[in-house]
Amino acid sequence: MNKPTLCIVIPCYNEEEVLPLTAPRFKEELEHLQSLGYVADDSHILFVNDGSSDATWNIIQSMSAQDGMFRGISLSRNRGHQNALLAGLMECRAFCDVSISIDCDGQDDISAMDEMVRAYLDGCDVVYGVRSSRETDTFFKRTSAQAFYKLMSGMGVETVYNHADYRLLSRRVLDELANFKEVNLFLRGMVPLVGFKSTSVYYERHERVAGHSHYPLSKMLALAMNGITSLSVKPIRLITALGFIVSFISFIGVIWAIVVSIMGNSVAGWASMVSIVCFIGGIQLLGIGIVGEYVGRIYLESKHRPRFIIGERTYDEGERAED
């Protein structure tokens, strides 16, 4: 079996403080994999600049000019982590047999790539990097993350618990992933849908080496909404079930009101009437809001707009095709 060409895909957004520290680590790990005979000598590290407003792209260009192991692409504007990651994965299909995606902040254990590649050589097409614990997280981060995965599971979205976007994908998985045309991306839920043989590698997550996180609670909630509305119709079904329950209760209430009226015991009840109206109105607004989320996403999907546009590369198209 020939040695596979590996491409390590690393999305970057305003990481000028981090890149000079973590890029040498990625190179060291790739050279280590090459020395073990696991991957080919033409393996690369591909940085994806997600429309950064700092010197991130300048650093990527400088590293690429000094070392052929580094490559870079820059999106025309900021499109978000999931789109940037997908851009890198689709780009590397032209010159790799297998990819490993990882964030550039140094929190994910880079040495876990050894076990990932071994699992690939043993026949796995997908290898998930899974956190072994969350002891280093704050209480809020740990609680919100656990709630996130439970929410995804409860909504019927298939995900790997405590797995983010640190994973290995074979070339045939990348080819099949290219057939998924969603605009609203949730790769953690899309990859399991591709199928093929998979396994997990467990690792300890470290503190960020520099800078600050670019994934606050608001973005986590937006990601969860993308995951639910892109991969599950369960919220719509819950609304339907709630509608039946409320209708049944309302029907009983109507019967009760008629019986009380016939018995002559009816008393004008302003408070009860207002409460019922507010309750029904709230349910209706909630239902309309959730349905609106789906309609809005259908609207975006129907436009068939590109999910990303590559503005620049540190290598030309001819070099990419030759690989």
Distance CA 222, CA 51 (A): 19
- The two tokens of residue 210 are 């520099």
Dihedral, 13, 18, 24, 30 alpha carbons, nearest 10: -40
CA atoms within 13 A on the CB side of 58: 6
Dihedral, 150, 154, 160, 165 alpha carbons, nearest 10: -80
Predicted confidence at residue 95, as pLDDT, reads 84
What's the CATH code of the domain at 160? Answer: 3.90.550.10
pTM score: 0.72
Distance CA 219, CA 225 (A): 10
- The reply to whether 196 and 269 lie within a common domain is no
- The reply to whether 163 and 181 lie within a common domain is yes
Predicted confidence at residue 58, as pLDDT, reads 92
Number of separate domains in the chain: 2
- The reply to whether 76 and 49 lie within a common domain is yes
Any domain includes 155: yes
- The reply to whether 166 and 42 lie within a common domain is yes
- The reply to whether 38 and 178 lie within a common domain is yes
pLDDT averaged over consecutive 10-residue blocks of the chain (323 residues)? 89 90 93 92 93 91 91 89 90 90 88 93 92 68 71 71 86 90 80 88 73 60 66 69 70 65 60 63 71 70 69 67 47
- The reply to whether 126 and 149 lie within a common domain is yes
Any domain includes 226: no
Domain span including residue 10: 6-214+306-322
- The reply to whether 292 and 315 lie within a common domain is no
Predicted confidence at residue 321, as pLDDT, reads 45
- The reply to whether 271 and 189 lie within a common domain is no
Predicted confidence at residue 117, as pLDDT, reads 94
Any domain includes 219: no
- The reply to whether 207 and 262 lie within a common domain is no
